[in-house]
Every structure is written in C-alpha cells, then in structure tokens.
Amino acid sequence: MGMEQDIEQVLFTEEQLRSRVQALGAEITRDFQGKDKLLLLSILRGSYIFMADLSRAIDLPCLVDFLSVSSYGGGTKSSGQVEIKKDISMDLEGYHVIVVEDILDSGNTLYYLMDLLKLRKAASVSICTLLDKPERRTKPITADYAGFTVPDAFVVGYGLDYDQKYRNLPYIGILKPEVYGG
Ligand code: IMP
Ligand code: MG
C-alpha cells in the first residue's frame, strides 16, 4: 500500500538528487561571492525540500523567504492564471533574489513572478529550478540554474505533488497515468 506502486519509472534517485543539489549550491556560492544582500526565495509548496537541501549547500550568509502561488488546481496542466496566496514578508529593495522553484514547465508562474520581483526593486533576480521541462514552455523564461531536464511527463516526489500527494516521496519518478486518469 506504499507510494512505489503508483510510480511508473524512477527518474532521479536520492543519491543523484543529493549530488546535483550540492553542485548547484557550489555554483551559486561561487557566483554570489561578495554580494551581501542575498535572498533565497522558495516558491511553495513544491520547492520546500529542494530549498531545505539547496540552502544548506550554499556557503554564504543569506536570507530565506517563502511565497505561495497557485496556478494548477487539482489537475496536471497549468491553468495559466497565477495567483499569490502568500506574499513575501520583507522589502526586496537592493536584494539579489534567487527564486527557488521545483519545476519550470510552461513558464507561466515565473514569467509573472519575475515582473513582480523587478517592480519591487530587487538588485537582481535569478532562477534556480530543480527540474526543467522545456518541451512545454509557452513563455520566454530560462533558468539560470537547473538541476535536471525532464521529458514531458508528470513527475512527483522530492516536493513535487499530484493533487497534494507524493511530495514526501524521497526520489523523483514519473507518475503512472492511470493514477491521474491520463
Ligand atoms: P509553470 O507555471 O507551468 O511553469 O508550472 C510551474 C508549476 O507547475 C511548478 O512549480 C509545479 O508546481 C507545477 N508542475 C509543473 N509540472 C509538474 C509536474 O510534472 N509534476 C508536478 N508539478 C508540476
Ligand atoms: Mg511549484
């Protein structure tokens, strides 16, 4: 009765995730050396596990904050409508913001957020996404840091959900289409 029976294929194991996240952290540490106003901004809820691991792989003093948006509803396709459910709690002016996302899919969410963060006078805005699904992109958004490229399939685990479930799966896998009626 576990979760494994709902997974069609494992894409990234715990070990692969760990080593890739360490490498991303090291890259960010190099790139943001000497920038004293650094903020890691996690997009809830999908990036919560990635954020926890990535932030500990970055060896720089930085702040963390969280923003919650919704665009999906209960389905597997983006509605295109982005709504802020929980806003940032701090003033962004002068901060180098690294947006931490679970997956960059259509690009709708980040397209909307990039504008918003720039309006709030961030010194710079970069995107760090664990997964990139470029085949489905409809907005001109590219990640500055991306963990892995994934095929056009619905993936879950390591924070990513289907209908709010499977976030606690410790690895990333493709969900069996029969689980979501696909
Ligand atoms: P976008 O706005 O279409 O780029 O989608 C961004 C959000 O959709 C991500 O932050 C995820 O929460 C969700 N999403 C997109 N593809 C998947 C997937 O394969 N599995 C789980 N969530 C996904
Ligand atoms: Mg998300």
Q: Which tens digit of pLDDT belongs to each residue from 69-93?
A: 987 555 666 666 788 999 998 999 9
145 φ/ψ angles, rounded to the nearest 5 degrees: -135, 130
Q: Which tens digit of pLDDT belongs to each residue from 95-111?
A: 999 999 999 999 999 99
> Residues with beta carbon inside 6 Å of ligand 1?
46, 71-72, 78, 101-109, 154-156, 160
Enter the pTM of the model: 0.95
Cβ neighbours of residue 34 closer than 8 Å, sequence gap 6 or more: none
d(CA 164, CA 87): 20
Looking at ligand 1, which residue's alpha carbon is closest to its atom 13? 103
The yes-or-no verdict on residue 61 having pLDDT over 60 is yes
Look up 105 and say whether it is catalytic.
yes
**pLDDT the model gives residue 82:** 86
Per annotation, catalytic residue among 102, 105, 115, 163: 105
- Mean pLDDT across the chain: 94
What the block records as the tokens of 120 is 């709030």
Name the residue of 66, 103, 154, 162 to mutate for ligand 1: max ligand atoms within 8 A of Cβ: 103
* Interval 133-137 mean pLDDT: 96
Q: Which DSSP symbol is given to 44? A: E
* Interval 107-133 mean pLDDT: 95
Q: What is the dihedral of CA 141, 142, 143, 144, to 10 degrees?
A: -120
When pLDDT is cut at 50, 70 and 90, the band that residue 1 belongs to is confident
Cβ neighbours of residue 25 closer than 8 Å, sequence gap 6 or more: 54, 56, 57, 58, 59
Per the DSSP assignment, residues forming a β-bridge with 128 are 100, 145
Return the minimum-mean-pLDDT range out of 5-14, 79-88, 91-100, 125-134: 79-88
d(CA 113, CA 121): 13
